[in-house]
Chains A and B, each alone.
Chain A
């Protein structure tokens, strides 16, 4: 079974770490990741840019594009895509297209700051 592990933290707190503190955390995480990677058990790992860079597409009819992260709590996170887009406009178009195929709920679009492809064995 594959498991997704979603990372939650207060971004104010993480954002106020110094470069050294941030690097120290990343180094410690890398040790754990490397162990998993060597065992062929690590899938893609992403670090997202802050929620200030987020845009939300509400899958209403017509879809509504809003600045900021997805703020409601009545829906649950059910999945995610990583898509290569030239700019935010393109990403919004992709979200609209997906939304047309599956109306209801919302997509939160977050730029990915760091992506490692992982080493999953098929």
Chain B
């Protein structure tokens, strides 16, 4: 028992001597995992495109051109136009802004709350831990999307409510993983030593244990980004996401279906392809980060 906890915790420990500069680290990544590095670049490009949406999008996302309604892709509109003549390419680009904001916000918020909760559970143990584990179990008894739907619907649509709704579905994951990491860290000698010299609870948790949770936290956060993007798109598709006319990928697909019996193919193809490419990039980047930071967690998060 002790042997296994030790090896597990050691995998998480990062000796201070091995910390390198940012650029040196980056070079190691490119050399050791070129594929992950490539997808990292794709992810970075998507983020850059989203951040610079006013510059990268050829048209304003809400501007209708009534002379070009439901037009297939052409030189003027690379991805065609929708039923009221809005440029699909511009809407896809602006949609990435919304999707990424929501996904990043939800994952940061949810994983952080979960991680802090897991830290407290693992550190204090006892009745608090027991009760918390039950609550987390209840949260996990809901399929992710259904829980997010219910919360988003109850809170009413909007960027913040969608972030909260998705974040709540991410809490159990952070809680579970960080708790188990803390449980194994707690037994290590350096933590015992800190307790021995009289460190208080806050100092023990935040100064000695928390820094070692950074690697699993990062791995969790990146692997859940993709899930968050898909949930956001699904919420938009089901009409409980960010209300129109704000362009999001889910809203665009929903609009395409609402418009008539047969949606034009370019209104379906491009927003969905954007979702797929983004999720693919983040998932593969996440895999790479996981392998790099902690090969032992392979497949477990």
Verify that A and B bind, or say they do not: no
Q: Residues on A close to B: CB < 8 A?
A: none
Q: Residues on B close to A: CB < 8 A?
A: none
